[in-house]
Structure 1
């Protein structure tokens, strides 16, 4: 009887702990603003080291790109940010981005998220939100 009581007590304590632990928002899972800034820095380092796509970033204003990516990711993960950049169609209209270029950048983003310890489920939630931009980024 005591063992049964002990097991029930442990189960109730475990359930109470689960119930009282608030779920993190997607913004929190990305580490809020500081975490997003670190992610974008990690991403840009990877992009600039990626021989598949780094040439396409040779003439890019990296400070501006960094700031716009932080804003964009912050918005996409539900953070208290405002995106102030051009639309994806406007900013990519003359760049002739290929499907391979796009996929390389996504791979670099996933690798950066892995390196930053962002949970896979949170990564997937961001990628789902970014996916519709494909049509405005990749040249027909």
Structure 2
């Protein structure tokens, strides 16, 4: 693949990102550290918003019309442990979908760049 390709392209575009998001969701709702955070969520809406956010954030053509990460998580008081559980769920989904180390590391960088916007707010 072209070294100049966006992370969006290297992940496989919207279709593959949506598949990864589906697996992340499955991991979240079965993870005792974070499952309660998702219990009353509209699963299809959340997955759609996350897919659009990841597509947009990785250089895809999709637009993201949802709340900022700061606004969306402001009153949730998410712990460091919960944040790391989410990261672990994402990593498991990436592994399941055959994502290479380069793309995993780039996506991890994006996730950790958002940490201050979601933890303990």
Does TM-score exceed 0.5, indicating one fold?
yes
1:45 aligns with 26
CA RMSD, Structure 1 to Structure 2 (Å): 1.4
Q: How does 1:1-140 map to 2 (within 5 A)?
A: 22-23=2-3, 24-139=5-120
Structure with the higher fraction of residues in helix conformation: 1
After TM superposition, the runs of 4+ consecutive aligned structure 1 residues lying more than 6 A away are: none
Contact 2:28 2:35 in 1 (8 A): yes
1:3 aligns with none
Q: TM-score, normalised by structure 2?
A: 0.91
Q: TM-score, normalised by structure 1?
A: 0.80
Aligned residues: 120
Please list every run of 5 or more consecutive structure 2 residues that lacks an aligned counterpart in the other structure: none
Separation in structure 1 between the aligned mates of residue 6 and residue 67 of structure 2, nearest angstrom: 27
**Rg larger in structure:** 1
For residue 66 of structure 1, report the CA deviation from its aligned partner.
Answer: 0.5
Separation in structure 1 between the aligned mates of residue 27 and residue 2 of structure 2, nearest angstrom: 34
Please list every run of 5 or more consecutive structure 1 residues that lacks an aligned counterpart in the other structure: 1-20
